[in-house]
Chain A
């Protein structure tokens, strides 16, 4: 492996656990340029005028409609934002595409159509394609002339993706690979012109191929009957001696797993940041209904339990959105260094894997948020929400898939601590040193104290610094106890994972608000959103810490560990009821999430 350059601390994946980040170094939605906002507005208008009025027809997969809209989106430049300009893209990064994707995912399954093509479908080619492959296929996809798809899963290999059985055998004349196997659950399969297919060469080397729909031996199965995202096509991809020219092998024999997983990092980021657009939409719909609907002679929005729902959704959106923007910029910054880390041809961009952990955090948190938001928005609509007259029933069904694809949330939860360990083993992340240091410190001296501070944001920052030490301490204790068998203690890994996620989300919210405050913006709503999130996160962390430690040690040792956890999680509870009420009131005044956090 080539020697890796040392990146600045805030650009090292997972490093937020080991260091404190200055607010100046995090990118926040307030930092978006007016061009970036304008691009998102174009996507918003496109959705409002072309896609959403066609929701019903899309749900019934009206012949040609999804493809027509997809092409139209391509003409507006919405599909190739991150593709280099040589291939008719815009050559922009994730900080630019984030807002657009949030719009495309707002309602219905069109966002899945777009994401399966422009995200996981096209990006293997974009990052690992040869010049000739990109010339042939990339511009077509960036402009929406062609639709793409990503075909990894099979009937018997879902989470365990590498157990895939599809085979690729070189033809006797050496000009083709013959692909045999069936890919399952392939988004866009009904319409895609090109599939990125993963198959095993010689039955063992997972390898990626660019497979055109019209190649001999390629066909698709019937539409699956799904719970939601009915407008998205999901079918099997059937490969029967499918003839794929050797020049369509992508990234080298045996590099497929690497490509598949790292593209999923990007996919997870995009799923998370994108689906938060749906959460924002749901919050808007819920708030507007709560204002209009009267019971007991009062608008629903005037009731505390309804305000609780609105305030909680808003606070979680704020945290997820802050973390998405922060991650997007880190991603772009590392991509801009041009650094590569492995010997694929072309070499593997470091940016694609550096933030694997952060991407998984976003995937899990944002997908769970959208399910929560859909559920509570439906609840606010009462019986009407349960009917198809309102968009909630559909949104509720549509939200569900996000916890399943692009790696289930269980797989992603396990991946979060797992990737830290793997990185530590490779010498890319000083985890062991940090754990040793912290464990020693904790046994020797009391945790950091914020010393009579009354600035709540500063208190939250101090709390999170302690929570990081708790996460490392907990991971250390568990590793000491279980060693290599820790992998079998999924509940503990899951608990550690949730603590790590809450830290990242909460810290991103705190840093964003501090940055806004420093810039002299109106930050009072932001502070409420941030502190509501932190306050709830404290409770979740306590619960997880107790469970993990109790499952790890016993007796006096357990008591000592619980004592440490208690001290580290010290936090004077805030009046969350008052904060959520203020958030809900303001939300109802201004009418939408973006307006809630918009500041001069």
Chain B
């Protein structure tokens, strides 16, 4: 075995492609997934890209992608492998798990893999919950840097210096490894999945693990009661004069 190999764990989530038109089922129970194209959550692709750049810079790095879900998620793992990850883990689960449940599964994966750090998307574009990274850090009792738009390994790869995007500006923080780092949009622009990459991915190891193999029985604590499509915005009206505007605000909209 190679010595001092740095391992980076990158969780990927299967989400509806950002360009797909999302339709809620008429009964409001779920999103209508018939015919929907799926993709790797864009923030996760950014996280993976960062991991791959670190690997290209340092060499001696193993990038492991992991996802939790059904057999169909193999597609997204293959995308990760095609981009350049070294190996993939599918944690089989058929239940829709909430953020805390996912974080708990990732704790088990973390313990099994013992990575130097975890690079993951700050949120998934399907439920936009923005919680898993933070929960994972808390459950593991390790540091976190969230919404990262710059990321640099320092001090002999023992720390990461990160630029975080906050409302006030860029905040620079340093976290000791191991840590959880979540990526923001501007961290990088992910590479294309090249065709030779796709061919190579077919030969890379992809391991499937059941929840029981990880010693887990996890259920979600939250329950989705109902989904509704956002209210369609009404068309605006053009007013000719300020007086007309004031009249409308007073009489029609009743805000004045």
Contact = CB atoms under 8 A, between A and B. Distances in A.
User: For B36, B82, B193, which residue has the most chain A Cβ atoms within 10 angstroms?
Assistant: B193
Given A35-B202, A595-B35, A76 B195 contact: yes
Given A42-B192, A78-B195, A594 B37 contact: yes
B21 A90 contact: no
Nearest to B79: A38
Contact of B198 (A38, A590, A596, A600): A38
A598 B82 CA distance: 24
A595 B23 contact: no
Contacts of B82: 38
B34 interface: yes
Contacts of A589: 21, 23
Contact of A42 (B21, B34, B194): B194
A598 B35 contact: yes
**Chain B, interface residues (CB within 8 Å), range:** 20 to 34
B251 interface: no
B87 interface: no
Given A38-B79, A522-B34, A599-B34, A591 B195 contact: no
A45 B192 contact: yes
B141 interface: no
Q: Summarize A's interface: helix, strand, loop or mixed.
A: helix
Contacts of A76: 192, 194-195
Interface in A560-600: 589-591, 594-600
Contacts of A595: 20-21, 35-37
Interface residues of A, number: 26
B75 interface: yes
B34 A600 contact: yes
A594 B34 CA distance: 12
B78 A590 contact: no
A598 B36 contact: yes
A157 B37 CA distance: 48
B236 interface: no
Interface in B71-91: 74-75, 78-79, 82
Interface string A187-228: 000000000000000000000000000000000000000000
B199 interface: yes
B33 interface: yes
B35 A35 contact: no
A212 B197 CA distance: 31
A38 B78 contact: yes
B196 interface: yes
Determine which residue in B20, B192, B202 has the highest number of CB atoms from chain A within 10 A of its CB, and name it.
B192
Interface string A518-553: 000010000000000000000000000000000000
A590 B82 CA distance: 29
B196 A38 contact: no
A336 interface: no
Contacts of A77: 194-197
B220 to A, nearest CB: 24
Interface in B154-204: 192-199, 201-202
B192 A46 contact: yes
B35 A90 contact: no
8 contacts: A38-B82, A38-B193, A45-B192, A77-B195, A81-B195, A591-B20, A600-B34, A600-B35
Interface of A: 34-35, 38-39, 41-42, 45-46, 75-78, 81, 90, 100, 522, 589-591, 594-600
Interface of B: 20-21, 23, 33-37, 74-75, 78-79, 82, 192-199, 201-202
Minimum-distance CB pairs A-B, first 6: A77-B195, A598-B35, A591-B21, A34-B75, A76-B194, A77-B196
